[in-house]
Structure 1
Amino acid sequence: MIHAAAAIIVILLTVGLTVMFLKRRYRKVREEVALLHPEHSRLMTAPMANFFGRRSLGMGQVRGNGILLLTREAVHFRMLLPRRELTIPLRDIVSISTPGSFLGRSRRMKLLQIDFHSADAGEDSAAWLVGDLDEWADRLRGMTGTEPAD
């Protein structure tokens, strides 16, 4: 019985420390993003977007949560862990679509997929799970003059 109680305490401590670490990390990333992109420069923000990856990096890459935001010039994403950033200038966006999966991964919800020209990878695409998908897709299509690719 003592061993079970000790195991439960260790598990609770581990979970608690992990939650504290992630909250601190999220707060730090929010502060970094706020310095680079103040509120007045943001047109849209998804504070906890789930990144499904970049097509050019293949299926083995790590997915993760982060902050997705839209400015007048670009779409910016800052992942929490591992530290990863992606900026897609609006002029480089080819199409916007809302597929049910990306790179063989799905969450049973439609995703925001952005197809774009990349200096390092040529034709590329990236996808996120965002809460207000239709608003993101419509806004991006309006700003880039692209038609639905679905």
Structure 2
Amino acid sequence: MQFFNQKTFVLLIPVLLAVLCYMVHKLSKYYKRKRAEELFSNYHKDRIIYFSKEVNFFGQKSSGRTRVRGNGSLLLTPDELHFTRWMPKKSLVIPLDDIENIERVDSFLGKRKKRELLKVDFKNSKGEKDSAAWFLDNMQAWEQVIKDNLEE
């Protein structure tokens, strides 16, 4: 009797797919936790005003055609707004002094979500106008806390 016959493969394929899905899920949870901890550990806990472990980044206008979306973590301190994308790892640090406007938008760089995005207009490191947008679960709180810290 042959072990690897057609019935065995029919049963083995779903099991292998389930194991693969489980591994991908575990790996993504690991990277999410690791990147959030890295971002959080860069700042003393007394300096962190607001933090979201999981946000959806809709890109940065100055990135040109390589406008990459991605998930990451967002953190606000008295001095800056700091986003870290999980994979590939990339950070965007916006000093609060360089933020010109905060608004809710329906789309950003031609990308839409069924809910509003938080768009931040700022001057980048070259002194040019730039913008970035995020999809946040706690949109109203983020918008208010950033505006409150801009007024100080």
Q: Which residue of 2 aligns with 1:7?
A: 13
1:19 Cα offset (Å): 1.1
Among candidates 57, 61, 64, match of residue 63 of structure 2? 57
Q: Distance in 1 between matches of 2:65 and 2:53?
A: 25
Give the number of equivalent residue pairs.
145
1:59 Cα offset (Å): 4.9
1:57 Cα offset (Å): 1.0
Q: Which residue of 2 aligns with 1:77?
A: 83
Letter in 2 for 1:101: S
State percent identity of aligned pairs.
Answer: 30
Q: Distance in 2 between matches of 1:120 and 1:2?
A: 61
Comparing 37-46 with 79-88, which one deviates more in the overlay?
37-46
Given the two structures, how large is their TM-score scaled by the length of structure 2?
Answer: 0.88
Among candidates 33, 38, 53, match of residue 27 of structure 1? 33
Given the two structures, how large is their TM-score scaled by the length of structure 1?
Answer: 0.89
Q: Which residue of 2 aligns with 1:68?
A: 74
Q: Distance in 2 between matches of 1:32 and 1:119?
A: 23
Among candidates 90, 103, 119, match of residue 97 of structure 1? 103
Structure 1 residue 112 corresponds to structure 2 residue 118: yes
Letter in 2 for 1:138: Q
Letter in 1 for 2:51: T
Q: Tell whether the 8 Å contact from 1:68 to 1:76 is kept in structure 2 after alignment.
A: yes
Q: Distance in 1 between matches of 2:112 and 2:44?
A: 32
Q: Distance in 2 between matches of 1:43 and 1:6?
A: 50
In the alignment, structure 2 segments of 5+ residues that lack a partner are 1-6
Q: Distance in 1 between matches of 2:8 and 2:82?
A: 50
1:116 Cα offset (Å): 0.2
Q: Tell whether the 8 Å contact from 1:58 to 1:103 is kept in structure 2 after alignment.
A: no
1:119 Cα offset (Å): 1.8
Q: Distance in 1 between matches of 2:40 and 2:145?
A: 22
Q: Distance in 2 between matches of 1:16 and 1:52?
A: 27
Letter in 1 for 2:31: R
Q: Distance in 1 between matches of 2:9 and 2:131?
A: 50
Letter in 2 for 1:102: F
In the alignment, structure 1 segments of 5+ residues that lack a partner are 146-150
Which of 1 and 2 has greater Rg? 2
Q: Distance in 2 between matches of 1:40 and 1:5?
A: 54
